[in-house]
Amino acid sequence: MAGLSINSITKRFGETEVLRDVTLDIADAEFVSLVGPSGCGKSTLLRIIAGLEDPTGGEIAIDGEAVTGMRAADRNLSMVFQSYALYPHLTVAENIAVPLRMRSLSAGQRLPVIGPFLPGSKDKRAEITAAVKDAAEMLEIGALLDRKPGQLSGGQRQRVALGRALVRSPAAFLLDEPLSNLDAKLRVQTRAEIAQLHRRLNATFIYVTHDQVEAMTMSDRIAVMMDGEILQCDSPSIIYEDPNDIRVAEFIGSPKINILPVELHERTLSLFDKPVGRTAIGAKAGVYQLGLRPEAIHLAKSDPLLTGTVAHVENLGAEVFAQVELAGQTARVTCRAAPAARDQLRLGAEIGLSFDLADALIFDADGKRQRGVEVTLDQPVEAA
Partner 1 sequence: MAVIDSTAIPRKPTQVNRQARTAWGLATPALALMFLILLVPVVVAAVLSFTNYSLGNSGFDWVGFKNYGRLFTRSTYEKMFIATFSYVVVVVPVSVALGLGAALLVNSLGRFGDVYKTIYFLPVMATLLAMAIVWEFMLHPTIGVINQTLEMACGTVLEVIPFVAKGCADGFPLWLGDKDYAIWVLCFIGIWQGFGFNMVLYLAGLTAVHRELYHAAEMDGAKSAWEWFRLVTWPALGPTTVFVVTISCIRAFQVFDTVEAFWPQGGGPNKSTYVMMFAIFEKGVQQNLIGIGSAITMLFLVFVMFLTLIQRWLVERKVHY
Q: Which residues bind partner 1 (CB under 8 A)?
A: 47, 50-52, 71-74, 77-79, 81-83, 85-90, 98-99, 102-103, 107, 148-150, 164
Q: Which is nearer to partner 1, 76 or 309 (CB)?
A: 76
What region, left, alpha or beta, does residue 247 occupy, with left being phi > 0 and alpha being psi -120 to 50 degrees? alpha
CB of 26 to partner 1, least distance (A): 18
Identity of the amino acid at 298: H
CB of 372 to partner 1, least distance (A): 47
CB of 58 to partner 1, least distance (A): 21
Distance CA 27, CA 25 (A): 7
CB of 68 to partner 1, least distance (A): 16
Q: Rg of the chain over CA atoms, in angstroms?
A: 26
Range 127-147 burial, b when 16+ CB lie within 10 A, else e: ebeebbeebbebbebeebbee
CB of 81 to partner 1, least distance (A): 5
Q: Which is nearer to partner 1, 104 or 307 (CB)?
A: 104
CB of 52 to partner 1, least distance (A): 5
Q: Which is nearer to partner 1, 47 or 293 (CB)?
A: 47
Q: Which is nearer to partner 1, 50 or 62 (CB)?
A: 50
Q: Which is nearer to partner 1, 106 or 329 (CB)?
A: 106
Q: Which is nearer to partner 1, 81 or 272 (CB)?
A: 81
203: DSSP letter: -
Distance CA 343, CA 313 (A): 11
Q: Which is nearer to partner 1, 70 or 311 (CB)?
A: 70
Residues 86, 115, 77, 153, Cα dihedral to 10°: 20
CB of 220 to partner 1, least distance (A): 24
Q: Residue 331: what are its φ and ψ, rounded to 5°?
A: -70, 150
**Which helix (H) or strand (E) covers residue 131, if one does?**
helix 121-138
Q: Which is nearer to partner 1, 151 or 196 (CB)?
A: 151
Q: Which is nearer to partner 1, 86 or 252 (CB)?
A: 86
CA 117 to chain centroid, in Å, comes to: 48
For residue 52, give Cα distances in angstroms to 40, 43, 55, 78, 188.
Answer: 18, 11, 10, 12, 29
Residues with Cβ < 8 Å from 124, sequence gap 6 or more?
A: 104, 105, 109
CB of 37 to partner 1, least distance (A): 22
Q: Is 56 exposed, middle or buried (0-12, 13-18, 19+ CB in 10 A)?
A: middle
Q: Which is nearer to partner 1, 36 or 51 (CB)?
A: 51
Q: Using an 8 Å Cβ cutoff, are 264 and 79 in contact?
A: no
CB of 302 to partner 1, least distance (A): 54
Angle ∠(356,361,363) on CA atoms, nearest 5? 135
CB of 116 to partner 1, least distance (A): 17
| Dihedral of alpha carbons 347, 352, 354, 360, sign | positive
Strands 268-271, 274-281: pairing is: antiparallel
For residue 171, give Cα distances in angstroms to 65, 78, 84.
Answer: 12, 8, 20
